[in-house]
Amino acid sequence: MALKSLPDGLKLKATVFIAGASVMVVEILASRVIAPYYGSSTYVWSALIAVVLASMSMGYYFGGRLADKEPSYRRLSWILLASSVSVFVIPLLQDFILSLTRVIFNFTSGSIIASLVLLSPTGFFLGIVSPYAIRLSAKGTESIGSTAGSLYALSTAGSISGTLAAGFILIPYVKMSTIFFCVSLTLLACSALLEYKTNRSSQKATLLVVFLCIPFFNLPYLYGRELVYMEYTPYGRIIVDQNNVTRYLWFDDRADGSIRRGTGLTGYEYANYFELPFLMNQNITDILVAGEGTGVGPRQVHMNHPNTRITVSEIDPKVNEVAKKYFLFEEGDGIEVSVGDVRPLVRYGSKKYDYVILDAFRDTQQTPYYLLSREFFTELRGSMKPGGIVLMNIISPLKGPRSMMFQSIMRTMDGVFNHTQVYPLSEDRTKIQNIIIVASNQPLVDKETLMSRAADTQVMNKTKIGSMIGRMLDEQMAVDGGVVLTDDYNPINHMYDSMRGY
């Protein structure tokens, strides 16, 4: 069927469906765009959803009034052209807008303002489409209800399709910028379809620009080091970059790990602490590591203890690929990777572990809330052999008004495990820092005994290990603040934001 002969009703139905799909694709993409600067916490999602709903509500209102005055296919075509342009500029402006808001505003207001600037034009223009299409489709007042119902149903069906397509098809396999440009291109095609006979030069020019951008545009890299690799996944943005000494892995805006070029050993001190439980339990065989990152932590553990069997749980399969390609990680010979979330692995798996390393992060520097609950620690305790040890890496001040997150984690773990030790990596206990927490239901070895067992390993000498042991707090941590974190009540996002001063 020629485009000229397509019924107007079919054109409107296609337009409404595509507009509904486009809104959801853009919203889900925006969550990935904003994550490197603001994370993907409930605060950020609340800002995104509120901005999209508010801008679409304004579009509904304005579109209804506009449709009552001079409804025409030509005017709806212009509205779709405007929506196409608004989507097109998002990848061009995103890093500038997000960097600027991050500098000027605090975390909460910055995420809202960035969402407003990036998303509200698209939400507004696409909000106009449905009421305008209803006015053009209605044959009379007696059919207005059924017309509105059918078109809103089509719009919702489009939104469902866009949501599923973005999450399951587009983001896992297509560059973010390409998806934005393809959405822009689709809206532009709708604009041209509604006014096919006019053959407007504005549509031709926009179409040409969009086509040129799809293959050649790359998101800018603003960090100043040599970029090795960058990709968006369903879980966030992965960056590998390097200087002359160190190669880094970044997940969103969080440094997820590093290796020293030439040696392949960790560039971050906290990973060396994974060795300490072997001085406490000299019969460790089965190990679970939550969070692969660069893979350097489990790799070093296996270098020191080649007879161990290590299971690495990593939720993002792309992280596993990056660890192998850029950070010397290898599976086999005692190391296996389980792609998926660690909590179902602990809850439903039958394997028992001597040693569990919790080094999983999301959003900036925050451990997922469901890995910090009393229920999860209870499940973890049940997956461990007698005498099993948990080592957890968190980022928080140890004391002071910003230590609520650390205090809450300690209070929660103390309710599940009988014995804990704390190793802060900084002398300043009010500073945000890596803190290593070791927990077990069996008594833990004291500092003097650990010192006597320290010996050279494949990657560290005895002196280095002794300096780590020396960081153990001699006094029992007095947990006088915080709350018990549960699956039902877990305000860890708020604690983290308060800690960072957002």
Report the CATH number that the domain containing residue 38 is assigned in CATH.
1.20.1250
Domain count, the chain: 2
Contact 364, 253 (CB under 8 A): yes
Residues 272 and 413 both lie in one domain: yes
pLDDT tens track for 270-288: 999 999 999 999 899 999 9
**pTM tops 0.85, yes or no:** no
Cβ–Cβ < 8 Å for 390, 438: yes
Instruction: Give the model confidence (pLDDT) of 124-139 as tens digits.
Output: 999 999 999 988 887 6
pLDDT at 484: 94
Identify whether residues 488 and 355 lie together within a single domain. Answer: yes
* 283 and 390 part of one domain: yes
Examine the pLDDT at 74 and tell me if it is beyond 60: yes
- Residue 187 covered by a domain: yes
E-assigned strands of 42-144? none
The span from the CA of 38 to the CA of 407, in Å, is 24
- 174 and 260 assigned to the same domain: no
Q: Read off the pLDDT of residues 333-376 as tens digits, 9 standing for 90 and up.
A: 899 999 999 999 999 999 999 999 999 886 555 788 889 999 99
Distance CA 267, CA 337 (A): 22
Residue 140 lies in a domain: yes
Cα 125 to Cα 85: distance, rounded to the nearest angstrom: 10
Among 192, 216, 240, residue at a domain's last position = 216
Q: Is residue 44 part of a domain?
A: yes
163 with 260, same domain: the answer is no
Residue 18 falls within a domain, yes or no? yes
Task: Tell me: do 342 and 432 sit in the same domain.
Answer: yes
β pairing state of 433-440 and 384-396 = antiparallel
Beta pairing, strands 335-339 & 254-260: unpaired
Sheet with 433-440: strands ordered across: 335-339, 309-314, 286-290, 353-358, 384-396, 433-440, 419-424
Q: Which domain holds residue 292?
A: 248-500
For residue 225, being part of any structural domain is answered with no
The residue type of 268 is Y
Same domain, residue pair 393 and 266: yes
Q: What is the CATH number of the domain that holds 276?
A: 3.40.50.150
> What is the spatial distance between Cα 498 and Cα 495, in angstroms, rounded to a whole number?
5
Does residue 242 lie in a domain region? no
**Is residue 200 domain-shared with residue 276, that is, in the same domain?**
no
Q: Is the domain of 295 the same as that of 191?
A: no
Domain membership of residue 238 (yes or no) is no
Residue 1 has pLDDT above 70, yes or no: no
Please, which pLDDT band fits residue 253 given cuts at 50, 70 and 90?
A: confident
Domain for residue 222, yes or no?
Answer: no
